[in-house]
């Protein structure tokens, strides 16, 4: 059964194809020649130590940055380097730091996220012009559906700034979903969450995938990533070090070394690390 699912996913044309993506800032190469595909129905994880280039890579996918080299295509069409056009094409994202309209209600935040799918556009939505009013009923119904889906319907009329942290993050996801994306990019969705909130986010991402939206997620919480993802890519110093199933990535020694900073046996520094550990153990024994 698992094999069949894997085969089906692998054969479907990718929603996202990133090819040779490189991003340089002056002399610093933050992302170096990274290839990554995401297929329909997949949840793909992007992990790596701090400063590995994960967010920079996301920014290249969403038109925030124009990659120095390489190309990014959504369903086979190269994306224009403009965030709103990327959203219109079908890629939505959330940010590492919450970016909600704090003084708007929960429902209004989702309606703003809907503007790429209504011909009235953002200003009409904000100013509530006549065109917006005509489209409002349909948009509102869809927004309420998304609030039900994310468990926020009861708070539709609350100001978003009054929501607890975990619900603000859910609202960001609901707003991203309002553009009906084929691919959702999540940048550290569980940062700052307690274990219950993290678990709820995991359930939400599975539910999103089940509605047909593929997901690419950056996260430092390894348990979350390995539970969630069909495939995980590891970036280290801007390069893709390893890519594979959670099992393969978890047990890859290069990943363990790069991510956790664990020295390999025989690696320079391993002897010193062992000596420090032994000295620490002796100190603990002496102290008892
Ligand atoms: N706009 C920028 N100008 C110059 N350098 C940048 C810029 N954005 C990122 N960098 C550098 O590029 C490298 C990659 O940063 P990036 O934020 O993409 O890493 P990350 O993997 O997302 O890290 P973290 O896990 O800490 O969020 C870092 O060395 C960073 O300092």
Q: Check: CB of residue 63 under 8 Å from CB of residue 88.
A: no
How many C-beta atoms surround the C-beta of residue 44 within 10 A?
23
Q: State the residue for tokens 């990718």.
A: 14
List the Cα angle 257/260/264 in 5-degree steps: 30
Q: What was the pLDDT predicted at 48?
A: 92
Taking the CA atoms of residue 176, residue 197, residue 15 and residue 246 in that order, the dihedral angle to the nearest 10 degrees is: 160
Q: Check: CB of residue 47 under 8 Å from CB of residue 71.
A: no
Taking the CA atoms of residue 116, residue 91, residue 61 and residue 82 in that order, the dihedral angle to the nearest 10 degrees is: -10
Q: How many CA atoms lie within 13 A of 25 on its CB side?
A: 8
Q: Check: CB of residue 29 under 8 Å from CB of residue 9.
A: no
Name the pTM for this structure: 0.82
Hey, where are the domains in the chain? 1-83+181-251, 91-180
pLDDT tens by residue, the chain, 288 residues: 344 444 444 557 999 999 999 999 998 999 999 999 999 999 999 999 889 999 999 999 999 899 999 999 999 999 888 888 888 889 999 987 778 888 899 999 999 877 766 666 666 667 766 666 767 788 889 999 999 999 999 999 999 999 999 999 999 999 999 999 999 999 999 998 999 999 999 999 999 999 999 999 999 888 899 999 999 999 999 999 999 999 999 888 888 888 766 444 444 455 555 666 676 677 666 654
Q: What was the pLDDT predicted at 88?
A: 87
Task: Supply the residue whose CA is at minimum distance from atom 7 of ligand 1.
Answer: 25
Using the mean position of ligand 1's atoms as its centre, give its distance from the Cα of residue 232 in Å.
20
DSSP 116: G
Output the ligand 1 site: residues, CB below 6 A. 25, 28, 30, 48, 50-56
Q: What was the pLDDT predicted at 73?
A: 95
Q: Check: CB of residue 112 under 8 Å from CB of residue 143.
A: no
Using the mean position of ligand 1's atoms as its centre, give its distance from the Cα of residue 87 in Å.
23
- 21, 24, 52: which to mutate for ligand 1, most atoms within 8 A of CB? 52
Q: Check: CB of residue 94 under 8 Å from CB of residue 189.
A: yes
Q: What was the pLDDT predicted at 7?
A: 45
Instruction: State the fold for domain 1-83+181-251.
Output: Rossmann fold (3.40.50)
Residues 6+ apart with CB under 8 A from 249: 47, 226, 232, 234, 242, 243, 255
- CA–CA separation, 92 and 271 (whole Å): 47
Task: Supply the residue whose CA is at minimum distance from atom 1 of ligand 1.
Answer: 25
**Selection from 61, 68, 52, 21 nearest residue 182 by Cα:** 61
- CA–CA separation, 205 and 217 (whole Å): 10
Using the mean position of ligand 1's atoms as its centre, give its distance from the Cα of residue 247 in Å.
28
DSSP 160: G
**Selection from 38, 39, 50, 47 nearest residue 242 by Cα:** 47
Task: Supply the residue whose CA is at minimum distance from atom 29 of ligand 1.
Answer: 51
- CA–CA separation, 89 and 95 (whole Å): 19
Q: Check: CB of residue 185 under 8 Å from CB of residue 219.
A: no
Closest atom, ligand 1, to C-alpha of 56:
18
Q: What was the pLDDT predicted at 124?
A: 64
ipTM of this predicted structure = 0.95
Using the mean position of ligand 1's atoms as its centre, give its distance from the Cα of residue 70 in Å.
18
Which CATH code fits 91-180? 3.40.50.300
Q: Which residues of 7-36 are buried (b: 16+ CB within 10 A; e: fewer)?
A: eeeeeeebbbbbbebbbeeeeebbbbebeb
Q: What was the pLDDT predicted at 273?
A: 59
Using the mean position of ligand 1's atoms as its centre, give its distance from the Cα of residue 156 in Å.
35
Q: Secondary structure of the chain: what % helix, strand, coil (to 5)?
A: 50, 20, 30
Using the mean position of ligand 1's atoms as its centre, give its distance from the Cα of residue 32 in Å.
13
């Amino acid at each position: 059964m698992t094999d069949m699912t894997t085969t089906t996913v692998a054969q479907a044309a990718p929603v996202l194809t990133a090819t040779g993506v490189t991003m340089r800032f002056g002399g610093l190469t933050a992302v170096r020649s990274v290839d990554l595909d995401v297929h329909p129905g997949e949840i793909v994880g992007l992990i790596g130590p701090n400063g590995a280039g994960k967010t920079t890579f996301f920014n290249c996918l969403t038109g925030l940055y124009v990659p120095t080299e390489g190309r990014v295509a959504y369903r086979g069409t190269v994306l224009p380097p403009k965030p709103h056009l990327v959203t219109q094409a079908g890629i939505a994202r959330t940010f590492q730091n919450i970016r909600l309209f704090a003084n708007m209600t929960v429902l209004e935040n989702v309606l703003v996220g809907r503007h790429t799918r209504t011909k009235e556009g953002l200003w009409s939505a904000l100013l509530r012009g006549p065109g917006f009013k005509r489209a409002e009923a349909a948009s509102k119904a869809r927004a309420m559906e998304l609030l039900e889906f994310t468990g926020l319907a009861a708070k539709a009329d609350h100001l978003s700034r009054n929501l607890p942290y975990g619900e603000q993050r859910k609202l960001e996801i609901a707003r991203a979903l309002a553009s009906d994306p084929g691919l959702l990019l999540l940048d550290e969705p569980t940062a700052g969450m307690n274990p219950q909130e993290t678990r709820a986010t995991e359930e939400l991402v599975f539910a999103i995938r089940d509605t047909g939206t593929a997901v690419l997620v950056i996260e430092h919480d390894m348990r979350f990533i390995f539970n969630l993802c069909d495939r995980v890519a590891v970036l280290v110093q801007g390069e893709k070090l390893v890519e594979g199933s959670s099992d393969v990535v978890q047990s890859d020694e290069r990943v363990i070394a790069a991510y956790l900073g664990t020295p390999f046996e025989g690696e320079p520094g391993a002897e010193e690390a062992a000596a420090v550990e032994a000295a620490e153990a002796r100190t603990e024994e002496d102290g008892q």
